[in-house]
């Protein structure tokens, strides 16, 4: 093999393959069971109030909190394992003859939204919301992001407070720097002057 051919082979080996994909580091989700929480799928277009309405319809004695994962999934979190397990059996459509903690089951229908079809199972520690999930939410797209609404209300309240001034400002009145020249002159004229008699009495006391 001559030098030219060898050099050509080396150059071709340095050219990247356009069809190859870059090496990606896959994040393996933690599949360990989280027995104090239930994973509920199929909650598209439902508000948190509607999800809790479904839970309380079949397990009213169990207090829970909702952890949103995405538009379609959420975790229903309970105080302990026993409460979570009891709620799970109340929410399943039919009690299985052989229950498995790893499997997903069909739930009973939503009392006010019968078109919804839910799947339920024990949550896993890997069932978490991804970073910036709210940016891809279809629910927020149609119904608005409550965090943005809260921020807008806070800004509006702060702006109104600045326009009105604080209660202390109302008691003390406007600052001297805020007064016009005529207002300052008028304010000086309003101050009571001491009479000559008062000044004489002070001199006599000395």
Query: What integer is the mean pLDDT of 110-123?
Result: 95
pLDDT (average), residues 122-139: 74
pLDDT of 32 above 50: yes
Q: What is the pLDDT of residue 202?
A: 62
Report all structural domains of the chain as residue ranges with CATH numbers, in order of start: 33-134 (3.30.70.330)
Measured CA to CA in angstroms, residue 142 lies from 25, 117, 138 at distances of: 34, 21, 6
Across the range 111-138, mean pLDDT stands at 83
Up-side HSE of residue 64: CA atoms within 13 Å toward CB? 35
pLDDT recorded at residue 93:
94
**What is the helix (H) or strand (E) element at residue 182, kind and residue range?**
helix 181-190
Q: Tell me what pLDDT residue 123 has.
A: 98
Using one digit for the tens of pLDDT, what is the confidence trace for 85-107?
999 999 999 888 899 999 999 99
Q: Whole-angstrom Cα distance, residue 146 to residue 70?
A: 15
Mean pLDDT of 187-196: 62
Q: Are 148 and 156 in contact (CB under 8 A)?
A: no
For 107, list phi and psi in degrees, rounded to 5: -100, 175
Nearest CA among 22, 21, 29 for reference residue 130: 29
Higher pLDDT, 192 or 127: 127
Under a CB-based contact definition with an 8 Å cutoff, are residues 120 and 88 in contact?
Answer: yes
User: Does an H or E element contain 139, and which?
Assistant: helix 138-143
Position 129 scores a pLDDT of 87
The sheet with strand 33-41 has its strands ordered as 65-68, 73-77, 33-41, 119-124, 105-106
State the Cα torsion 50-53-58-60 to the nearest 10°.
150
Give the pLDDT of residue 107. Answer: 97
Mean pLDDT of 181-200: 64
Q: With b meaning 16 or more CB within 10 Å and e meaning fewer, what string describes 125-134?
A: eebeeeeeee
Q: Percentage of the chain with pLDDT > 90?
A: 42
pLDDT tens digits, residue range 151-190?
566 665 666 565 665 555 555 555 555 566 666 666 666 6
SS (H, E, C) 43-76: CCCCCHHHHHHHHHHHCCCCCCEEEECCCCEEEE
């Amino acid at each position: 093999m001559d030098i030219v051919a060898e050099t050509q082979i080396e150059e071709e080996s340095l050219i990247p393959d356009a069809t190859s994909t870059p090496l990606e580091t896959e994040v393996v989700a933690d599949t360990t069971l989280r027995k104090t929480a239930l994973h509920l799928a199929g909650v598209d277009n439902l508000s948190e109030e509607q999800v809790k309405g479904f839970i309380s319809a079949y397990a009213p004695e169990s207090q829970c909190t909702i952890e949103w994962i995405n538009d379609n999934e959420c975790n229903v979190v309970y105080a302990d394992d026993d409460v979570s397990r009891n709620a799970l059996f109340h929410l399943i459509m039919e009690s299985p003859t052989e229950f498995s903690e790893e499997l997903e089951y069909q739930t009973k229908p939503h009392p006010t939204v019968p078109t919804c079809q839910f799947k339920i199972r024990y949550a896993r520690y890997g069932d978490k919301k991804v970073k910036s999930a709210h940016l891809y939410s279809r629910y927020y797209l149609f119904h608005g992001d409550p965090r943005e609404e809260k921020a807008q209300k806070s800004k509006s309240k702060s702006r109104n407070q600045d326009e009105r001034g604080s209660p202390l400002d109302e008691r003390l009145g406007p600052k001297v720097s805020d007064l016009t020249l005529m207002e300052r002159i008028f304010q000086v004229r309003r101050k009571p002057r001491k009479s000559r008699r008062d000044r004489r009495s002070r001199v006599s006391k000395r």
